[in-house]
Amino acid sequence: MLGEVYEIDLDMLKNMDIYEDEGSLYNRRTALVENESRTLNAYIYVYAKEINEQEIKGGRWNMKNSDRVWYACYGSNMLEARFRCYIDGEKRCFHDVEIQNTGCRDKTLWIDSRFLSHKGELYFAKESSKWGGGVAFFDHNGTGSVYMRLYNITWEQMLEVQKQEGLEWYGNLILLGCDTSGIPIYTVTAESRDRASAPSDAYYSVIKDALVKECGIDEHKAIKYLEAAME
């Protein structure tokens, strides 16, 4: 079984115990893990109840609609105005392309936003009817780094955003981890990697605007990053 190992301190371990509901929903156990260079003991969380296969596939577990989560986006949604379309459903124009989504039932905007990079690979695939070219996807098996913007929204909004993205394209809901207070970080991507497809100029520009103007990435570095994703 493949996985990732993180080195954390005791305070983080206590937060993880709280988040995983250790002793009730999960039991913390030790396991021997290894890679090409070394072997060590690590903590793992083992589900303490009967397994409901359908619940696992849906990614819901015991989440409530009002629970807070971080939605980690890496494509056009990194631009704040673009992501607002998924929340409020209003029509907006980006580089001469008009975009409108259905919006969420709860149109309350995110209460916080953060920026980070996460292990993986950004790539462009499919053919968008809105943008006229490939769109961004996240390959969690990649060995590079992917720039991501996090929005603190509700679990209900997270699922509605995924539905608006299109479950046939973004049906893979991935838990990337959790922050220091135990709030889970989710992203969405494709179930499997498709052949590459270059993004349109408009879509490319929206992502670059987000990286440079809102996330503080040097323009030259942002261009190099996006060009690498198109190779």
**226 — alpha (psi -120 to 50), left (phi > 0) or beta?**
alpha
Question: What local confidence, expressed as pLDDT, does residue 4 receive?
Answer: 81
Question: What local confidence, expressed as pLDDT, does residue 60 receive?
Answer: 46
Question: What local confidence, expressed as pLDDT, does residue 56 receive?
Answer: 43
Question: What local confidence, expressed as pLDDT, does residue 63 receive?
Answer: 80
Question: What local confidence, expressed as pLDDT, does residue 3 receive?
Answer: 76
Question: What local confidence, expressed as pLDDT, does residue 54 receive?
Answer: 41
Q: What is the mean pLDDT of each run of 10 residues along the chain (231 residues)?
A: 82 88 88 80 85 46 85 97 97 96 97 95 96 96 95 96 95 89 92 94 98 96 97 89
